[in-house]
Amino acid sequence: MSKLLDPKIMIAIKELSLAAKTTIEGFMHGINKSSIKGPGMEFSQYRSYQPGDDLRLLDWKMFARSDRYYIRESEVETNIAIRLVLDASASMNHQDGDYKKIDYARYLAASLAYLGNLQGDSIGLNIFKENEVVALPTKQDHQHLSRLFFQLEQIHPEGTFSRSEVYKQLYTGSNQKELTIFITDLYESEDEIFELLDVAASVKHEVIVFHLMGRNELELNFKGYTNFEDLETGASVQVEQASIRKTYLNNLNRYLEDVRIKALNRGIYYRMLCIDEPLELALRDFLNQRK
C-alpha cells in the first residue's frame, strides 16, 4: 500500500490543506483574480469585429440590432506555472514563541499552492537543504497537490543550504517561464542563496522572495538568554543583550536595506515577514503584487 494512503499521513495532509483553505477563503472576498480578455465563459464586453477574429464569437443579435459585427469578449483567468522553493537548512528551526520559521514557511507554501491550484495554475515544489533537494515538477491536479502537502509536512530542517551545483541543474533544459516563490530566512555563509536567485532570474523567471524573521531577532529580545548558538555551525557566543541592542539594531537595519537593494537590482519582488504576522497579510500582499 502506498504511504500516501496511510491514515495518519492522510489526516496530516487534510489538516494542512484545511489550514490553507481557511487562510485564503478568509480574505478572498473582494479581491479580483488576474484576467485577460478572450473567449471565456463570463461575459465582459463587446468590441468591433477585426479581420482574422473567430467567426464563432460573433454576436448575431447585436448584428440584427445594429447592422454591425461585434465580438463578445469575456474574461478568462490567466494560468501560470508556480515553483515553490523552501529553504530547509537548520536555521529554519529558529523559534519565536510557539512558532518556528519552518512552520510558518510550510503553511505559507501550502496556502499559495492551494490558491494556485484553485485558480488552475500548475504548482511545483523544491525543498533545499545540505546535499539534498526534494523536487516535484509543476503540475495541476488534486493528487499532485496532495503529494505536495505531504512533502511539506515531512520537512525536517538540518545542515546548511544546498550548494549551487545541486540546484543549477533544475534550471537547465527548460524554456518554460515560471513564477518562483522562494521562502527562506536568507541565512547564508557565501552568497549561496543569492546565487540561486541569480540562476532563476537569469532564465527570465519572475521571482518573489519571502524573507522570514522572528520578532526576537528583529528586536534582539531573547528573554533570559545570554548564550546564543548558530543552528547551522554549532558555534556559540555569550551576549549581554541590553548592552549591544542599539548596535545590533543598526547593523540589522543596514543588512535588511542591503538585501532589499540586492533584490531590487535583480528585478526580484522582496517582502520581509515576521513569523508572528498573520498569513493573510502576506497572501494579500502577494495577490496585490500579482495584479
Domain count, the chain: 2
What is the span of the domain harbouring residue 59?
A: 35-77
Are residue 58 and residue 190 in the same domain, yes or no? no
Are residue 139 and residue 226 in the same domain, yes or no? yes
Give the domain CATH number at 258: 3.40.50.410
Cα distance between residue 265 and residue 283, in whole Å? 24
Lowest mean pLDDT among 148-162, 224-238, 242-256: 224-238
Are residue 201 and residue 73 in the same domain, yes or no? no
Of the spans 12-21, 169-178, 232-241, which averages the highest pLDDT?
232-241
Burial category of 29 from C-beta neighbours within 10 Å (exposed 0-12, middle 13-18, buried 19 and up): exposed
Residue 76 vs residues 42, 163, 192, 198, 230: alpha-carbon distances, Å: 8, 41, 39, 32, 49
Are residue 145 and residue 271 in the same domain, yes or no? yes
Residue 18 vs residues 21, 146, 204: alpha-carbon distances, Å: 5, 12, 34
Are residue 247 and residue 210 in the same domain, yes or no? yes
Are residue 210 and residue 93 in the same domain, yes or no? yes
Tell me the mean pLDDT in the region 233-249: 83
By C-alpha distance, which of 34, 149, 20, 142 is closest to 86? 149
- Residue 237, pLDDT > 60, answer yes
* Tens digits of residue pLDDT in 177-210: 788 899 999 988 777 788 888 877 777 678 889 9
pTM given for the model:
0.75
Are residue 102 and residue 128 in the same domain, yes or no? yes
By C-alpha distance, which of 100, 101, 43, 33 is closest to 71? 43
* Tens digits of residue pLDDT in 22-69: 676 665 544 444 444 444 444 446 567 666 666 777 777 777 777 777
Q: What is the dihedral of CA 86, 92, 95, 99, to 10 degrees?
A: 10
